[in-house]
Amino acid sequence: MTKYEQLQEHLKGNQNTWLVTGVAGFIGSNLLEKLLILNQKVVGLDNFDTGHQYNIDQAIEDANEATGKDLSNNFRFVNGDIRELEDCQKACSGVDYVLHQAALGSVPRSIEDPINTNRANIDGFLNMLAASKDANVQRFVYAASSSTYGDHLDLPKVEDKIGNPLSPYAVTKVVNELYAQVFAKTYGFKTIGLRYFNIFGKRQDPNGAYAAVIPKWVAAVLNKENVFINGDGETSRDFCYIDNTVQMNLLAATTDNNEATDQVYNVALNDRTSLNKLYQMIEDRLIQRNTRTRKERANL
């Protein structure tokens, strides 16, 4: 068995309480689903600024279907805002592990609205750190970002070599890592940061001005709409599936390796895909799927 498989078996027989901030979002709702499947108790904190109730509902429904049980009683929702310290304190009460996903994402959004980005991503982060520390949480795992690498162009991206941030959003993520380091050194509070690289998967919102490219293109192909690719399309990115992100969060929260804490880690595939190739892959897969569906219907 892999270490992750062993962890899942262990969690099924040992119930803990986890706080997932941003639980109504894409990554948060996937964490909720997996934790419920593993027989864990989950507290979810969200203010629905960018998240949706249907993500929570779908996560619980999918967990129920996967286990054949009604797991809704293992979930408690706190309608609150990480910018309010009291909301953070309320959510952290009685919690063993914190998976902090709540933030205002998107580089373009941060350029348009740096003030609110700062309030959510720095003030909110500090509130969650302080509330978690005061609640004696065992481990604080937080969503960092590949934007931290800024103007450092070397490949592959190595955790201890970053450049200057290129957006207000990137600044907030650098500050998050600095605060986590300070809390580790000053208070002995255990944290792990996960630098996400272009995460994709189910419940990722294809709508809105700041939608990520994969769900946006999938929706466009399904709806037979035109897709616009910036430049020559040869810009490449590292795309990482949501299940890998969930795995990293759970392993980071529960590791008993003290040397692994108070660090940041890349969450990536370690492979690059051009936008042209990505679009072609999406189009080919969806055309194959639609063709197969038509054949299945014809045989009914």
Task: Give the tokens for residue 50.
Answer: 């960018």
Instruction: Out of 169, 179, 196, 279, pick the active-site residue.
Output: 169
Report d(CA 32, CA 169) in Å as an integer. 25
Annotate the chain with three-state secondary structure: CCHHHHHHHHHHHCCCEEEEECCCCHHHHHHHHHHHHCCCEEEEEECCCCCCHHHHHHHHHHHHHHHCCCCHHHEEEEECCCCCHHHHHHHHCCCCEEEECCCCCCHHHHHHCHHHHHHHHHHHHHHHHHHHHHCCCCEEEEEEEHHHHCCCCCCCCCCCCCCCCCCHHHHHHHHHHHHHHHHHHHHCCCEEEEEECCEECCCCCCCCCCCCHHHHHHHHHHCCCCCCCCCCCCCEECCEEHHHHHHHHHHHHHCCCHHHCCEEEEECCCCCEEHHHHHHHHHHHHHHHHHHHHHHHHCC
User: What are phi and psi for residue 240, nearest 5 degrees?
Assistant: -125, 130
Tell me whether residue 169 is one of the annotated catalytic residues: yes
Distance CA 171, CA 121 (A): 10
Question: Which residues are the active-site residues?
Answer: 169
